[in-house]
A and B are shown apart, each in its own frame.
Chain A
């Protein structure tokens, strides 16, 4: 069946089913809701300072240069992860890899759309939920809206983005997503305290 489909379908549209990890899972507790977010396009972007302007232009979002910050435009978010490293997430189904491919300036763009899973943590107890396993100060002063950082949750690494006063996007590697969702679910139950 799959074989037949492969032959019939145009090369642009995947013919086999995409089965994202934890697809559609949600969890709610007092003051916090967790939801596994739909798949997104993602690249790990590495580049020296001299290439940043050209890459920003090509991507349509100004790559942030300040630690622990992010920039967003038209469904595309660039998270500063390191002095020459950004995580670019596109939720508008426009592949940032293609945008970078045209560029000749020095850079490395690697597709990681399937590597990461995103979980939204929203509600007044969102920060407390994450602070169950994340040692960073998530108060609005220390981690304002738009702040982004690679950090720790329990025993795994996550990428954390504050999308609103009471909302975070937690990204982790695919095989850690079960752990992260389970951790956040357990923490959520106690986060209103």
Chain B
């Protein structure tokens, strides 16, 4: 069981309290109805599924109940960092190998 640092609780908490919520930084258009088919496809269906660094959403479901963002290495299953929802993609990653 992983420990995940909740940026709102400001500490690492057991994975059982969390739930993954898919890839992060996929913005919903403010003019959703006018989105083209192609853009909707990109927005709704296409995910990067990288081998390596992934930016993803988690929810501290059974803790503070906040959604937040995390950077995880899908190869090592390590969390590099977590940050609050709405904050920009971090420019620099701590301890990233590449």
Residues of A within 8 A of B (CB): 67-68, 81-83, 85, 135-136, 149-152, 157
Contact = CB atoms under 8 A, between A and B. Distances in A.
Contact of B66 (A83, A135, A136, A157): A83
Nearest to A157: B62
Contact of A152 (B9, B16, B64, B65): B16
Interface in B37-95: 62-66
Contacts of B66: 82-83
A136 B65 CA distance: 16
B65 A135 contact: no
A189 B62 CA distance: 26
The binding surface of chain B is classed by DSSP as loop
B64 A85 contact: yes
Interface residues of B, number: 14
Interface in B13-43: 13-14, 16-17
Contact of B62 (A67, A85, A150): A150
B13 A82 contact: no
B63 A150 contact: yes
Given A67-B8, A82-B8, A83-B8, A136 B64 contact: no
B8 A135 contact: no
Given A67-B9, A136-B14, A152-B16, A81 B64 contact: yes
B16 A135 contact: yes
Nearest to B66: A82
A81 B65 contact: yes
Nearest to A82: B64
Given A150-B65, A152-B17, A157-B62, 15 more contacts: A67-B8, A67-B10, A68-B9, A82-B8, A82-B64, A82-B65, A82-B66, A83-B64, A83-B66, A135-B1, A135-B14, A149-B9, A149-B63, A150-B64, A152-B62
